[in-house]
RNA sequence: GGCGACGUGGCCAAGCGGUAAGGCAGGGGCCUGCAAAGCCCUCACCCCCAGUUCGAAUCUGGGCGUCGCCUCCA
């Protein structure tokens, strides 16, 4: 049974899907007025992993993520750059999709754009007005917070306390138009030069919160299973979504609310105003997406995560530990004929199954990726210990395959691919010349050249010709090919 | 001011009542011609003080500290 920490109830609860075996999931996407930053990426990668895990556990997941492509910030940016809001939105929508793919985040099943769902939003606003939950003032429509007694239930606030404790509710100048200072816009009358759509209240555009209410309702129906987003969206965005959606339909909006913790840089909040934010695309410029994921996996998705170059380096080292073991296993499979067989691998198989089961237990507990990673690494340690024992060798190729495939499978759930067996294609051309020089024959192709070089070195070592042996090793190293002498033989 | 989260080894981090996973870094050893990779061993008074309990990192109260939300924010 999968347990999920539900923001609304503030505790971990058993996950029960509305439709057995299916999960409807909505995660708030970005407002496309800039390239997404590393904090956005943290949230989206977290939900990518949750989605992958649920899928792996057998659920048919319908994953919906919107793009907010009409909004104050987009309009502002457009004005600054003297072009249309649509242009700005289109550019950054495209960039967002590209960045997500570069980060290894799976495409959502449905990616609605706010500007393409306006009729649904107008419908929803109309419903709210009819139901007495919203009112129009000169082309603006506001949600009446007082009409929804449960307002505040998601974020754990009480209306009265909010009003008395609020800093400067009357500062914006618009407050006199509202019946209550806490009321928020669900439809905004168009101002000159702004994108707008016709509506019963005149030309205007939707408020931010109504967009997600309308899109999630349209594509998933109400109620749906999981609504996610960054923790900073709990209030007011998600609170308002709940109010709108539930006031309109009279039913529950989403059963489980999942919120991802914030990413910080050097223990400081990353924000535009502080100017310390990193763009995802800039990070990916110098960092493998798997390394970034590895870093994020090591912290629980709800905890704050401190991002730093040091952690990136650590994560890379950790990842290569896993990759190395997989590479060794792969090599063993491909060279099984040369391996003296005496290993009773049953223990390893048992450990493999145990590790896989344990992985599930840990992940079922609110997607504890850090704990699950611990399981994987502990298992890798066991595998390495077996491989390091020279009295053992791997006689049972299917068993080795099983060990490796489980390793690959489990990390695959995290979106990290450990299969790098395009080695043949990756050998640089220079190895041919090197083989010709050192082994006296270029070989038929790169792979053969490498094989000859390894063989040449082994011969040299046998004859204690260390100079030649090291020449081969250094020559390969210069081409970024590192020889590893395993107990079962050398490999690249 | 209101609401909330967190404080575990040098760094990161899991843990949710039975005497501390894992990663990175460090020390010692093994393997190796030397390396690399790997293996073995080693490195924690769980922020402080009280309390509950046979037993607490884990529960309760208090203190100190860090951070987040309350305004656009993933």
Q: Is the CB of A199 under 7 A from strand B?
A: no
List residues bridging with A31 in a β-sheet: A68
Strand ranges, E, within A263-346 = 263-265, 268-269, 305-307
Q: Which nucleotide is nearest to A228 (CA to C1')?
A: B74
In contact, A77 and A88? CB cutoff 8 Å = yes
Mention every residue, 6+ apart, whose C-beta is less than 8 A from residue A429: A446
What is the structure's pLDDT at A328?
85
**Residue A359 CB closer than 7 angstroms to strand B?**
no
ipTM of this predicted structure:
0.93
- Separation between the CA of A85 and the C1’ of B33 (whole angstroms): 69
SS (H, E, C) A350-361: HHHHHHHHHHHH
* Alpha-carbon gap, residue A411 to A19, rounded angstroms: 28
Output the pLDDT for position A63.
97
How much is the pLDDT for A161?
Answer: 72
pLDDT, tens only, A440-468 = 777 778 877 888 888 888 888 888 888 88
Chain A window 441-460, residues with Cβ within 7 A of nucleic strand B: none
Asked if strand B contacts A76 at the CB level, meaning under 7 A, the answer is: no
Task: Using the C1' atom of nucleotide B16, identify the protein residue whose alpha carbon is closest.
Answer: A12
Q: Which nucleotides of B are covered by protein (CB under 7 A)?
A: 1-6, 11-15, 21-25, 31-40, 66-74
Query: Which residues touch A126 (CB under 8 Å, ≥6 apart)?
Result: A200
Q: What is the pTM of this model?
A: 0.92
Q: Which residue is nearest to nucleotide B3 (CA to C1')?
A: A157
Judge if the beta carbon of A181 is closer than 7 A to nucleic acid strand B.
no
A240 Cβ neighbours under 8 A, 6+ residues apart: A143, A184, A209
Q: Token pair of A296, please?
A: 């994020």
Q: Which residue has the tokens 């800093």?
A: A167
User: What are the backbone angles phi and psi of residue A412, rounded to the nearest 5°?
Assistant: -65, -30
Query: Among chain A residues 299 through 328, which have CB within 7 angstroms of nucleic chain B?
Result: 299-300, 303-306, 310-311, 313-315, 317-318, 321, 324-325
Distance A303 CA to B50 C1' (A): 29
Spatial separation of the C-alpha atoms in residues A107 and A86, rounded to whole Å = 22
- pLDDT grade, residue A165 (50/70/90)? very low
Which nucleotide across the nucleic acid strands is nearest to A324, CA versus C1'? B37
Residues A383-427 have pLDDT tens digits of: 888 887 755 544 567 778 888 999 999 999 999 998 765 444 577
Give the burial class of A474: count Cβ atoms within 10 A of its Cβ; 0-12 exposed, 13-18 middle, 19 or more buried.
Answer: exposed
Q: How far is CA A47 from the centre of its chain?
A: 5
- Across chain A, what does the average pLDDT equal? 87
Confidence label for A359 from pLDDT (cuts 50, 70 and 90): very high
Which residue did the predictor score with more confidence, A171 or A105? A105
* Mean pLDDT computed over A298-327: 91
Name the pLDDT band for A26 (thresholds 50, 70, 90): very high
Beta strands at A184-189 and A140-143: parallel, antiparallel or unpaired:
antiparallel
């Amino acid at each position: 049974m999968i347990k999920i920490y539900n923001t609304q109830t503030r505790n971990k609860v058993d996950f029960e899907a509305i439709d057995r075996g299916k999960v409807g999931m909505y995660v708030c996407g970005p407002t496309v007025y800039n390239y997404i930053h590393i904090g956005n990426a943290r949230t989206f990668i977290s939900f990518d992993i949750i989605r992958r895990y649920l899928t792996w556990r057998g659920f048919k997941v319908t994953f919906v993520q919107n793009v907010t492509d009409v909004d104050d910030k987009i309009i502002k940016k457009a004005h600054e750059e003297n072009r249309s809001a649509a242009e700005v939105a289109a550019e950054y929508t495209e960039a967002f999709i590209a960045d997500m793919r570069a980060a290894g985040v799976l495409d959502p099943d449905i990616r609605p754009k706010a500007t393409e769902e306006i009729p649904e939003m107008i419908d929803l606003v109309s419903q709210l007005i009819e139901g007495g939950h919203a009112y129009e003032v000169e082309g603006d429509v506001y949600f009446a917070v007082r009409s929804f007694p449960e307002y505040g239930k998601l974020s754990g606030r009480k209306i009265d306390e909010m009003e008395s404790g609020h800093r400067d509710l009357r500062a914006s100048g618009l407050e006199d138009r509202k019946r209550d200072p806490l009321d928020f816009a669900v439809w905004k009358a168009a101002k000159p030069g702004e994108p707008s759509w016709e509506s019963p209240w005149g030309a205007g555009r939707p408020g931010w919160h109504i967009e997600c209410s309308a899109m999630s309702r349209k594509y998933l129906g109400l109620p749906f299973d999981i609504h996610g987003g960054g923790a900073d969206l709990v209030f007011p965005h998600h609170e308002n979504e709940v109010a709108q959606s539930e006031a309109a339909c009279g039913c529950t909006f989403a059963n489980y609310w999942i919120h991802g913790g914030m990413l910080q840089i050097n223990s400081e909040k990353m924000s535009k105003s502080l100017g310390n934010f990193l763009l995802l695309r800039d990070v990916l410029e110098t960092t493998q997406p798997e390394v970034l994921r590895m870093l994020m996996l090591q912290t629980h998705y709800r905890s704050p995560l401190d991002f730093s170059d040091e952690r990136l380096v650590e994560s890379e080292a950790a990842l290569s530990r896993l990759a190395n073991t997989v590479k060794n296993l792969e090599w063993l499979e491909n060279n099984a004929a040369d391996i003296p067989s005496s290993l009773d691998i049953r223990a390893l198989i048992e450990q493999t199954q145990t590790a896989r089961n344990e992985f599930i237990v840990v992940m079922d507990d609110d997607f504890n990726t850090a704990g699950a990673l611990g399981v994987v690494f502990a298992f890798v340690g066991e595998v390495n210990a077996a491989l390091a024992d020279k009295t053992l060798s791997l006689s049972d190729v299917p068993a080795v395959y099983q060990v490796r495939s489980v390793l690959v499978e489990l990390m695959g759930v995290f979106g990290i691919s450990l299969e790098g067996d395009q080695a043949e294609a990756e050998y640089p051309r220079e190895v041919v010349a090197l083989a010709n020089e050192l082994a006296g024959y270029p070989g038929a192709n790169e792979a053969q050249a490498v094989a000859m070089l390894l063989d040449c070195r082994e011969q040299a070592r046998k004859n204690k010709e260390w100079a030649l042996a090291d020449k081969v090793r250094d020559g390969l190293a210069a081409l970024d090919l590192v020889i590893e002498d395993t107990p079962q033989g050398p490999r690249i």
